[in-house]
Amino acid sequence: MMQLTIHDALAALGDRGETYLKLFAQPALDIALYKPDRTDPQTPHRRDEIYVIATGSGSFVQADETRPFGPGDLLFVPKGVPHRFENFTADFSTWVIFFGEVPAEPLP
């Protein structure tokens, strides 16, 4: 049985001094924790993505739409779509779930 807790994942992330930590990987599925520091420098991804907000709140920008988010919210981003978190609280963290096969060619 596998169990990921937000407490353990945040501790592992903090121990490494990183903002992103991959916790589980299979050919068509990756699970990670993301905790950006003040800004979110993301660029579009090559696979579909789900965020499940673990802690904190802020605004999520996807393409030309902005919405508020908070703990427990689920956000879906299709591959290739620009997105980022903005105006988030210092305690913000989110589970990141990438799924689907990685395409052979890069994004345009």
> The tokens of 106 are what?
């890069």
**Where in the chain are the domains?**
20-99
User: Does 104 have pLDDT greater than 80?
Assistant: no
> Which pLDDT score is estimated for 101?
83
Per-residue model confidence as pLDDT tens digits over 64-81: 999 999 999 999 999 999
Residues 95 and 35: beta-carbon distance below 8 Å: no
Predicted TM-score (pTM) of the model is 0.90
Q: pLDDT tens, 28-48?
A: 999 999 999 999 999 999 999
Mean pLDDT of the chain: 92
Provide CATH code, domain 20-99. 2.60.120.10
Considering only CA atoms, which of 48, 75, 80 is closest in space to residue 61?
75
